[in-house]
């Protein structure tokens, strides 16, 4: 978070600041050691099994980033930096963020606008800034092909050309994404339409981003960033929302629109209300649904977003929480992956909630494409591979005709839960596990969860930004899997599409 209130001065570091937890007293006492990232002592914390009763800290709201209009472009400025942040009372973490030591501000732009972001890297290591869910040229997408060296500034620009949606931004350095995102490098990027949707839209009042992450607070000698104890990656034992531990939000309106982003490395959340009441899903990764969809629970895997509307009665005191779910792995693997955990995420009270209008019955939603009749591609998800291969930055795995719509058929033949994210597009799920998609997957998506043995058929409309030399990525968004190489590359061409891997035209330059 960018608020200064819980940030400490940035220490000098000689490497990537790992996820690490230490007591503040120790840090002060052993200043130099702490600054060097040496672990001396670990705080303790119970497994997240609270019921919300202790949730007393006001939910932090990421500030809206100011911008300026320059030469017809809306210009934003971000600075990647490292520091230390008290994410849990009394527990300081070595963290990274944008314009602060943890998380980043919210960027907001209107469809049709040209935007430019100046991203300055004030970290001691290379990073990137990827605009997750954005339709834009691959050269502006912020993958490892657009690495930002320490001290450098990268200035991507593009025209916003997609429906209103909750997108996000985070680093995408090859092999380092779990560490950097897990250290706090994530922020929300909101796209608006000119015409309002009728949904709550007063940012920070009744339109609230919820960036959910899990961190590890424990005793013992676990080295930061290393051990992946679950088959899907690092699972923390403590949940924070917008960098707030056990947060509380005092609603002043009857309807709350929560824009939930799972910015965790691997943990999935199965959201429900402690009251047992339903909420309404109104938007998925890429935009709004045609109509609010009532549901009692909602599974959100890493990188997915869900816009939900919660009705808050005047005297309400309820908790948005995560409850056990089925990731489809063995019981032991599901357990170590957090699937059996129950914990509060956000306490919501409604003491001041005034009467407000109900939900719109219809929402402005972009029409789905018809089922593509052209190219159909098959992707087999292994333990950490796609079609048996590991990521190679010099290999183009897939050549797609710019502007075409393809069917992408996914099959998880491994025993691990995965999800699948495609850059530079928003897709529609035509089928899931051979049948109708789950209600949560019936809107525009850029990331979809696929359990072991599961399948998904995606209708993928690709953009028109042909560029034979700069690839987009598609990959598992369980970040440890991605870092292990569960990623591949496609380019958009004005020529013939192909599925044969080709060497990157710039391979000699890497
Ligand atoms: Cu995976």
C-beta of residue 447 within 8 angstroms of C-beta of residue 477:
yes
Helix (H, G, I), strand (E, B), or coil: what is residue 271?
Answer: strand
Distance in Å, CA 302 to ligand 1 centroid:
10
CATH code, residues 207-349: 2.60.40.420
Give the residue among 309, 321, 201, 314 at the shortest CA–CA distance from 251.
Answer: 314
Beta bridge partners of 490: 398, 472
Helix (H, G, I), strand (E, B), or coil: what is residue 332?
Answer: helix
Distance in Å, CA 448 to ligand 1 centroid:
11
C-beta of residue 275 within 8 angstroms of C-beta of residue 344:
no
The pLDDT, as a whole number, for residue 154 is 98
Residue-level length of the chain: 510
Sign of CA dihedral 52, 53, 57, 59: positive
Domain boundary assignment for the chain: 4-192, 207-349, 376-509
Indicate the DSSP class of residue 508.
G
Cα separation values, 275 from 260, 339, 355, 432, 468, Å:
19, 21, 20, 30, 53
Distance in Å, CA 384 to ligand 1 centroid:
6
Continuous H helices in 86-241: 177-182
With a CB cutoff of 8 Å and minimum separation 6, the contacts of 6 are 85, 86, 243
The pLDDT, as a whole number, for residue 242 is 98
Distance in Å, CA 280 to ligand 1 centroid:
28
Distance in Å, CA 421 to ligand 1 centroid:
10
Distance in Å, CA 150 to ligand 1 centroid:
29
Distance in Å, CA 454 to ligand 1 centroid:
13
| Domain 376-509 CATH superfamily | Cupredoxins -  blue copper proteins (2.60.40.420)
pLDDT in tens, the chain (510 residues): 344 344 443 333 333 333 333 333 222 222 222 232 222 223 333 334 344 558 999 999 999 999 999 999 999 999 999 999 999 888 888 999 999 999 999 999 999 999 999 999 999 999 999 999 999 999 999 999 999 999 999 999 999 999 999 999 999 998 999 999 999 999 999 999 999 899 999 999 999 999 999 998 866 544 444 456 689 999 988 999 999 999 999 999 999 999 999 999 999 999 999 999 999 999 999 999 999 999 999 999 999 999 999 999 888 899 999 999 999 999 999 999 999 999 999 999 987 666 666 889 999 988 888 776 678 999 999 999 999 999 999 999 999 999 999 999 999 999 999 999 999 999 999 999 999 999 999 999 999 999 999 999 999 999 999 999 999 999 999 999 999 999 999 999 998 888 666 665 544 443
| Domain 4-192 CATH superfamily | Cupredoxins -  blue copper proteins (2.60.40.420)
Helix (H, G, I), strand (E, B), or coil: what is residue 481?
Answer: helix
Distance in Å, CA 24 to ligand 1 centroid:
35
Beta bridge partners of 58: 248
Distance in Å, CA 481 to ligand 1 centroid:
5
Cα separation values, 187 from 79, 243, 409, Å:
12, 11, 30
Distance in Å, CA 452 to ligand 1 centroid:
10
Distance in Å, CA 209 to ligand 1 centroid:
25
Distance in Å, CA 372 to ligand 1 centroid:
26
Helix (H, G, I), strand (E, B), or coil: what is residue 57?
Answer: strand
∠ at Cα 155 (154, 156), nearest 5°? 110
Distance in Å, CA 328 to ligand 1 centroid:
13
The pLDDT, as a whole number, for residue 501 is 66
Give the residue among 181, 201, 187, 179 at the shortest CA–CA distance from 134.
Answer: 187
Distance in Å, CA 396 to ligand 1 centroid:
20
The reply to whether 207-349 shares the fold of 4-192 is yes
Distance in Å, CA 474 to ligand 1 centroid:
12
């Amino acid at each position: 978070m960018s608020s200064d209130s819980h940030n400490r001065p940035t220490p000098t570091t000689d490497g990537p600041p790992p996820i690490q937890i230490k007591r503040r007293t120790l840090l002060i006492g052993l200043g130099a050691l702490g600054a060097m990232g040496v672990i001396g002592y670990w705080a303790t914390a119970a497994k997240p099994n609270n019921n919300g009763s202790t949730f007393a800290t006001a939910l932090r709201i990421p500030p809206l980033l100011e911008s300026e209009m320059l030469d017809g472009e809306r210009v934003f400025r971000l600075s990647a930096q490292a520091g230390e942040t008290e994410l849990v009372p009394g527990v300081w973490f070595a963290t990274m963020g944008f314009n602060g030591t943890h998380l980043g501000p919210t960027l907001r732009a209107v469809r049709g606008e040209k935007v430019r972001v100046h991203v300055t890297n004030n970290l001691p290591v290379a990073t990137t800034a990827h605009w997750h869910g954005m339709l834009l040229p691959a050269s502006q997408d912020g993958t490892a092909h657009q690495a930002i060296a320490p001290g450098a500034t990268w200035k991507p620009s593009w025209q916003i050309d997609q429906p209103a949606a909750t997108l996000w931004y985070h680093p995408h350095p090859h092999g380092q994404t779990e560490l950097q995102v897990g250290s706090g490098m994530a922020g929300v990027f909101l796209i608006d339409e000119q015409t309002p949707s009728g949904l709550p839209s007063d940012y920070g009042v009744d339109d609230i981003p919820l960036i959910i992450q899990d961190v590890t607070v424990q005793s013992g000698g676990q080295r930061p960033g290393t051990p992946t104890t679950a088959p899907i990656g690092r699972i923390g034992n403590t949940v924070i929302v917008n960098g707030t531990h056990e947060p509380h939000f005092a609603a002043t309106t009857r309807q709350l629109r929560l824009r939930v982003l799972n910015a965790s490395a691997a943990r999935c959340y199965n959201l429900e209300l402690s009251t047992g009441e339903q909420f309404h899903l109104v938007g998925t990764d890429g935009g709004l649904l045609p109509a609010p969809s009532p549901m009692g629970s909602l599974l959100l895997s890493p990188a997915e977003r869900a816009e939900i509307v919660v009705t808050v009665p005047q005297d309400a005191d309820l908790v948005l929480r995560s409850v056990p779910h089925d990731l489809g792995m063995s019981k032991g693997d599901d357990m170590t992956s957090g699937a059996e955990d129950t914990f509060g995420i956000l306490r919501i009270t409604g003491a001041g909630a005034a009467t407000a209008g109900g939900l719109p019955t219809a929402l402005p939603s972009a029409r789905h494409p018809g089922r593509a009749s052209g190219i159909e591609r098959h992707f087999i998800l292994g333990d950490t591979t796609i079609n048996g291969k590991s990521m190679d930055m010099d290999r183009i795995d897939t050549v797609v005709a710019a502007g075409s719509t393809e069917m992408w058929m996914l099959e998880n033949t491994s025993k691990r839960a995965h999800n699948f994210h495609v850059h530079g597009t928003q897709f529609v799920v035509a089928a899931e596990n051979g049948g109708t998609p789950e209600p949560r997957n019936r809107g525009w998506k850029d990331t979809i969860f696929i359990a072991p043995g599961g399948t998904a058929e995606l209708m993928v409309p690709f953009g028109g930004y042909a560029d034979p030399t700069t690839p987009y990525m598609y990959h598992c968004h369980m970040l440890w899997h991605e870092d292990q190489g569960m990623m591949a590359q496609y380019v958009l061409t004005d020529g013939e599409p192909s599925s044969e891997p080709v060497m990157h035209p710039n391979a000699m330059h890497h």
